[in-house]
Amino acid sequence: MAFALAGPADLAAIVAIEARSFPFPWPPEFFLAEFGQPHSTTIVARPAVGEDHQIIGYLIFWTLFDEMHILNLAVHPSYRRRGVARQLFTEAIRRARSRGCQTAWLEVRPSNEAARQLYQSLGFQLLMTRKRYYDDTGEDALILTRQL
């Protein structure tokens, strides 16, 4: 697996994965806004050398003071359940630690069982619930955290 920082040239591939991953995907302008923020990092994953070098997943996170906030993660449906998300997390945590981050946190829908299982396996624990957090459905958000 190869990782790189994403930029505007990667937008179409990221938006395509986003659209196949979520019922209410981020619009392209959300991704473009993240590319321009100094505290925001978007990492893309590609298959190993010798394979097609298309983007197969991405993870967006912020580093603010000593905290890492994971905003968005998706893996192309053809590459799910192969460890891509776990490897994206490992790379993102490595980068956040190098910037002095000590804690990571994220929001997840209670209905997203696959993501919840991944986050639990990565050591994230429930901190609190935010009621009616998601505008699209009114669903709560589980706030998960872990030490880096």
Would you call 14 exposed, middle or buried from its count of C-beta atoms within 10 A (0-12, 13-18, 19+)? Answer: buried
Structural domain that includes position 49: 2-147
Which stretch of DSSP H or E encloses residue 100?
none
**pLDDT at residue 52 above 70?**
no
* pLDDT tens profile 2-27: 999 999 999 999 999 999 999 889 99
How many domains in the chain?
1
Phi, psi of 70 (to 5 degrees): -85, 125
Catalytically annotated residue among 18, 34, 58, 119: 119
Out of 91, 107, 133, 139, the active site residue is: 107
Instruction: Identify whether 107 is a catalytic site residue.
Output: yes
CATH number of the domain that 92 lies in?
3.40.630.30
pLDDT band (50, 70, 90) for residue 50 = low
> What tens digit of pLDDT does each residue of 60-111 get?
999 999 999 999 999 999 999 999 999 999 999 999 999 999 999 999 999 9
3-state secondary structure of 115: helix
Q: H/E element holding 83?
A: none
Q: Among residues 45, 120, 123, which one has the least CA distance to residue 85?
A: 45
Q: Which helix (H) or strand (E) holds 2?
A: strand 2-5
pLDDT tens per residue across span 108-145: 999 999 999 999 999 999 999 999 999 888 999 999 99
